[in-house]
Structures are given as C-alpha cells and as structure tokens.
Amino acid sequence: MESNTTSDPKYLAFLKYKGKLVEEGFLDARKSAEVLLGFDEIVRYFIRQENPEFYNVEFEVPVRIQKGTWEALIPDNIELFLVKGILAWGAAKYFGSALNEMAKKDFKDIGFKNIIKDAFRGMTWVIKIGKHFKSMNRKKLENLKFKEKNEIIGIPDDNENYLYVPKKYLEFYTSYPEKLFSKISRIIEPERELILGLLDETDSQVNIDHDHKFIFVKQEDIQDIIFPGLKHNEYVELEGHVTKGNEKSNTIGFEYNGHILSCKPYKGKVIKIKDEMYSNCKIKGYIDRLDKFGNPTEKKPKIIFVDLILMNENDGKSFDLFK
C-alpha cells in the first residue's frame, strides 16, 4: 500500500482518498473541511498520547490535491509549522522547563519529525486493531499471547487469528475516544477509500474501505438516516401530502412515505399557499441536509422547494413562488 507521493522527500505523512469519486482530485468543499478538522483532531490526539506536554501546541496541516487522489500532506519540515504555533501560543509559558530548554536551543534538537511519526504509528496501529476486531469497542481482551518481555501482545479475533501489537498501542486502543475517526470515515464510499500513514514506512500505512467503514463511524451517525438516497443539494420531484404551514418559520410540512419533511420555499411566503394546503401535491426542489454547524449531515432531509403542484383532480394547479 503506497501513496503516490512516496518518492517525494518534501512530505512526511499523509491522509488521502482514492477511487473513482476523486479521480480528478476533487472533494466537496464541506467534506474537505470536515475531513481536515477530523484529521487535525486525530493528529493532535495522538501527539498528546505520546507527548502530554504538547497538549495546546498549534500547528498547520497543509493540503495538496493532485489528480487521481485527494491528499492532506504533512511536510517534512514540520518543525517550521510547530515552532510557529509554539511561539504564537506562548507554549514555553504553559509547558514549563522542557520547552524553555527547547527554546534555548532554537528548537534544533526537539525531534518534531519523531513526534509526528510516533503519532502516525499510534493512529495506524489503533486502526489496524479496530479492523482486526471489526470493532472499536472491544474492552475485554482474552486469550492473549506475549512476546519480548510482555511488550508485544498477541490479540485474537473471533476466528482465533492473532495480531501482534506493541503494548502501548493496545492501551491506546482500549482508551480510544468515541467518534475520533468518524469525520474522516464518514465520506468513505464503495468508490472512495481512505488511506493514511507515514510516507517512508509502509508498515505504518493503513486503509479503510467501505467494508470497514462501519467500524469507525458511530452507529448513531449512520443509523436512522431518513431517506439516505436523498442527497444534499440533489434536485427532486416528490409526490406527497401538505400537512400544515408555519408562517413564523416560513415552512410547510410535507408527508412523504410515512415521514413529515420540513419544506421551505426558495422565494416567497408560505402564507400564499391556500389551495395546496392539506392536499396531495408534487413538490419540486432541492434537498437540504445542513446541520446547525453547516455540515451536510442531518439525518432527516429538508426541501428547499421551487414549485408545489396540486395533484387533486389532476388539475395541475401550481403554487407560484415568484408572485
């Protein structure tokens, strides 16, 4: 398993998606934002696991997009980004003598690359363990085997296949916070696979494909999604029943296949809707799944409608949004 940038010495570590859905290097802006936020959270978490003194250190994760993949790449000169963050946040003030000594050495001997490498080794091992168990919630570990003075632990899956893991990474797995990998895994599809790791260590690279997505996305994030086929920003024409109107929120209720969807006119006021109220109608518009944070992750879709056509008696009467 190799990244397309394994021969590029300018980069140290990567997260990327590959497959037909990103063949031209494109990823929806909102998806990109959520992925980068999730990537940032993961990197910081594992840095803190290995180095608690870096709890508040700020740094940037640069992004490079190239044809055939969508990649977020951490540069080989990562110390420039970390030092910039340390200075900006006054880290020496918060972290005490250790970073004060580092500052005296002009940050030359800190070993930031090793910090990043250790973080990525930690995250790839935790993902490997999750894939091995097909779960991120297995807390009771039984029938273990031990090697190298108990520092390497063999863990069996349900078929008694063993994976040998360094002790500290197994501890990382058992203390894994919920939803840590959810943001980067949510957008995985049959034609969009996730790969991450260190560029120069193939053993520290791991993939998550659609078959393993369920391991890393919390069930409440993927269950009870109402009408999953109705995608955000998709144009639709649906037949249903108008149930009520709300002048304050400028919405109507639209009963469709057993669910009441909130629908808002693209322009105009619902107070104009009279004949269509409490009637069977065809609604034409665009699916809206934005949550309160602006992410397209709402389980229940809403509709921004541009036309509402009365279906009773097949008379074709239409609610004109632009009057």
- Computed over every residue of the chain, the mean pLDDT equals 81
For residue 131, give the nearest of 167, 158, 168 by alpha carbon.
Answer: 158
Give the chain's domains with CATH numbers.
11-222 (no CATH), 235-319 (2.40.50)
Band of residue 155 on the pLDDT scale cut at 50, 70, 90? very high
Q: H or E segment at 305?
A: strand 302-310
pLDDT exceeds cutoff 50 at 212:
yes
Most confident option among 75-89, 153-167, 302-316: 153-167
For a pLDDT cut of 90, what percent of the chain falls above it? 42
Whether 195 and 106 have beta carbons less than 8 Å apart is answered as: no
pLDDT exceeds cutoff 60 at 318:
no
What dihedral angle (degrees, nearest 10) is formed by the CA atoms of 291, 296, 299, 304? 80
DSSP 313: G
pLDDT exceeds cutoff 90 at 308:
yes
Q: Tell me how far apart the alpha carbons of residues 92 and 35 are, in angstroms, rounded to a whole number.
A: 30
- Residues 6 or more apart whose Cβ sits within 8 Å of residue 142: 156
Mean pLDDT of 237-247: 92
pLDDT exceeds cutoff 70 at 181:
yes
Q: Tell me how far apart the alpha carbons of residues 121 and 132 are, in angstroms, rounded to a whole number.
A: 16
Q: Tell me how far apart the alpha carbons of residues 118 and 54 are, in angstroms, rounded to a whole number.
A: 13
For residue 131, give the nearest of 173, 77, 74 by alpha carbon.
Answer: 173
Q: Tell me how far apart the alpha carbons of residues 150 and 145 are, in angstroms, rounded to a whole number.
A: 9
DSSP secondary structure of 161-217: -EEEEEHHHHHHHHTPPTTTTHHHHTT-BTTBEEEEEETT-GGGEEEE-GGGHHHHS
Whether 291 and 279 have beta carbons less than 8 Å apart is answered as: no
Q: What is the pLDDT of residue 175?
A: 87
Whether 305 and 316 have beta carbons less than 8 Å apart is answered as: no
For residue 66, the cross-strand partners are: 69
Q: What is the pLDDT of residue 94?
A: 46
For a pLDDT cut of 70, what percent of the chain falls above it? 76
Whether 5 and 14 have beta carbons less than 8 Å apart is answered as: yes
For residue 181, the cross-strand partners are: none
Band of residue 3 on the pLDDT scale cut at 50, 70, 90? very low
DSSP 267: S
Mean pLDDT of 239-263: 92
Q: Summarize pLDDT for 267-294 with one digit per residue, the tens.
A: 989 988 888 888 999 999 999 998 876 7
Q: What is the pLDDT of residue 152?
A: 96
Band of residue 57 on the pLDDT scale cut at 50, 70, 90? low
- What's the CA angle centered on 229, arms 294 and 194, to 5 degrees? 65
Amino acid letter, residue 117: K
Band of residue 244 on the pLDDT scale cut at 50, 70, 90? confident
